[in-house]
Chains A and B, each alone.
Chain A
Amino acid sequence: MRLGRFIAWLVVGVVALFYVVPMIAMTRFAFQRIPVIKLSLGNVFDKWTVAPLFESFTESEFRSSATLSLMLAVATALLTLVLLVPTMAIAHLRSPRMRRLIELSATLPFVVPAIALVVGFAGTFRETLPILIRSSFGLVPLYVVTALPFTHRTIENGLAALDLRTLVNASRSLGASWTRTMIFVIAPNIRASIATASFLAFTVVLGEFTIASLLLKNTLPLYLAYAQGRNPQGAFAVGIVLIIVSTIFVALSNRLGKVVRA
């Protein structure tokens, strides 16, 4: 399989290059105070500064918005899993029709514009449950909806790859209840999907802008967007750091939850 491995490395190498080049350009822009047109071999190492990072990280607005976004991300991931995994597992087992309906419903959030979501949301809850609009955590259900296309697809693929019926039958015939089956049999077998879905929910929340801006909540993406206008080099510096940190975080979490293949 030597050819196979060589091709695999080639693919990974080219794609990695594609991923990395724009990031390098952005990093250089963020940390070096020389316009490209004036760059030459002579001054390649001049005027680098890490000041923008420190300015940004010490701003209290950054910390409060980052904390809020992190909490929202965790809540969104949790709610997504609780809502999707049991529902989809049962759909896979019992009702192909529901499965298709869920697929359809999970792709729709792409095309319902954020502003419609917000206006509908605010209109519905303004009189009945204003706390949902007042509290920043009112964003969570909207974020679950926004992340739905991604999270659904990952879990769907994971479930489809299993022989779900056999697994569940085996578990049930051994006397396990539905809940136990769900938690101890199904979930571990779609560990990769659950992990990926959580990460996608996470990154969706850390990148979502329109809904938060319309409801005037101070999330991290809003802070970054504003910082980009006020101080682009600083904002991109923070952005790059966030990208690196998120990547490492996901990579490490993956390692911890990795399914050991026999």
Chain B
Amino acid sequence: MTKQHITSNKNIGFGSRFRSLAALALVGALALSACGSDDEATDDTVAEEVTTDVASDVCPSQEIVDAAVAEAKVNLIALPDNWANYKGILASFREKHPEIENPVANPDASSADELVAVETLAGQETQPDALDVSPAIAQEVDSKDLWEPYKPCTWDEIPDFLKDADGKWVAAYYGIMAIGTNTTVVKTAPESFADLAKPEYKGLVSLNGDPREAGSAFNAVVAASLANGGSFDDIMPGIQYFADLKASGNLAGTDVTEASVIAGETPIWLDWTYNYPGLAPKLVENGITWAIRVPTDGVHGGYYAQGVVKGGPNNNAAKLWIEHIVSDEGALGYLEGGAIPARFEALVAAGKVSEEAKANLPAPELIAQIKFPTQDQIAKMKEALATNWGPMVADK
């Protein structure tokens, strides 16, 4: 998935240990309205691949469910507990399908590591069955023909820009780039990219990784670009912004980790909105107050893509996993973690989103502003970044 970091911890989410009773109740209530299964006679339990009939009104088909139960496991990778509340989503999957285990290997892996694992472990029973990767890596997985197309039951309720047209992957959640401030160390929280450049924040601003490597940092540069007259076709204003920030001394060198946030070494940092709720318990325990602000001048959202690995050892269980993350339970799980689920509109319309669940989210007007760049735009921005970030920012 994400968090990109050299050795290990990449993002700054903490152990999200809270599971509100409301969410539990919601899950229970919604389980009744979940996709019902047909009463078809089941096949002999052989873990064969079953093709999906998209037009079928039985969803997910009993064959898939039975085959998945026979597989009894889905190998997952790179899903940290405190990233968009995966802890809760993994648990709700186990409640829905108690016979299917869902172990997570290498939770701090980057998206690229996930691809390496799929290729290295091809044919092994530990090969990952389903992935959660950045858009760029999703593209690479596609170019290596490693996605198994699968359209989950709720396909139609997922907006077009959050899924692959051929069903190779879905984007079950997305977030917005936000500024986090440790207000115990820094009294006034900055509210915009323009604020970050103020002299009072000298030496205090950090990125979550290097943009040439980390999805979060890269998207922070894109957001800065949008705030400074750039667009998805032009990331240079963003690079220039950070070059200026570094020259003025505002951009600190230290990398952002949970530890550095608690220690107060990185009092101001940029990260996805869904990475902040997980931090809360630790910050409270250490007597630290904090503030999260979506920059007023640059609103930028980003998603991660999930899909089934072609030829994986537990193909059908993987399909059920994908079903789960875009299901109501999955969506509400993401909400709890501060991410915006793909079917947010549909869920709100159906009245399934409680006020409490909305508490972790940015304001609806902000959500409405979000657009995502196309794969081409992403590719071009990355080229520009790879060529210019070093000479303009990192090496100075």
Contact = CB atoms under 8 A, between A and B. Distances in A.
Contacts of A137: none
A118 B120 contact: yes
B257 A29 contact: no
Interface string A210-232: 10011110100010011011111
A35 B263 contact: yes
17 contacts: A34-B286, A35-B185, A35-B287, A47-B287, A118-B120, A122-B121, A213-B109, A216-B77, A222-B8, A225-B7, A229-B12, A229-B13, A229-B82, A230-B81, A230-B82, A232-B9, A232-B262
Contacts of A126: 120, 122-123
B311 to A, nearest CB: 14
B117 A230 contact: no
B238 interface: no
Interface in A96-140: 115, 118-119, 122, 126, 130, 133-134
Interface in A176-216: 209-210, 213-216
Given A226-B9, A226-B108, A214 B257 contact: no
A82 B82 CA distance: 44
Contact of A213 (B106, B121, B257): B106
A175 B395 CA distance: 65
B126 A134 contact: yes
Given A47-B287, A228-B8, A229-B258, 8 more contacts: A33-B285, A34-B286, A35-B185, A126-B120, A214-B113, A216-B106, A225-B9, A229-B257
Interface string A230-250: 111100100000000000000
Contacts of B125: 134
Interface residues of A, number: 33
A43 to B, nearest CB: 10
**Nearest 3 CB-CB pairings of A with B:** A225-B8, A229-B9, A232-B259
A15 interface: no
A41 interface: no
A38 B287 contact: yes
Nearest to B125: A134
Interface of B: 3, 7-15, 77, 80-82, 105-109, 113, 116-117, 120-126, 184-185, 257-259, 262-264, 282, 285-288
Interface centre among B7, B258, B259 (most CB of A within 10 A): B259
Interface in A20-52: 29, 33-38, 47
A228 B264 contact: no
Contacts of A35: 184-185, 262-264, 286-288
Contacts of A213: 8, 106, 108-109, 113
Contacts of A210: 7
A124 to B, nearest CB: 11
A230 B264 contact: no
Nearest to B13: A229
B80 A130 contact: no
Interface in A71-111: none
Contact of B117 (A34, A214, A222): A214
Interface of A: 29, 33-38, 47, 115, 118-119, 122, 126, 130, 133-134, 209-210, 213-216, 218, 222, 225-226, 228-233, 236
Contacts of B14: 230-231
Contacts of A232: 9, 257-259, 262, 282
A228 B3 CA distance: 13
A226 B80 contact: yes
A119 B10 contact: no
A122 B120 contact: yes
A209 B108 CA distance: 12
B34 to A, nearest CB: 30
Contacts of B286: 33-35
A213 B77 CA distance: 11
Contacts of B7: 209-210, 225
Nearest to B127: A216
B15 to A, nearest CB: 4
Contacts of A236: 259
Contact of A226 (B8, B77, B121, B124): B8
A133 B124 contact: yes
Nearest to A235: B259
A226 B184 contact: no
A216 B10 contact: no
Contact of B11 (A29, A214, A229): A229
A233 B107 CA distance: 18
A229 B14 CA distance: 7
A225 B257 CA distance: 11
Nearest to A121: B120
Contacts of B3: 229
A247 B121 CA distance: 36
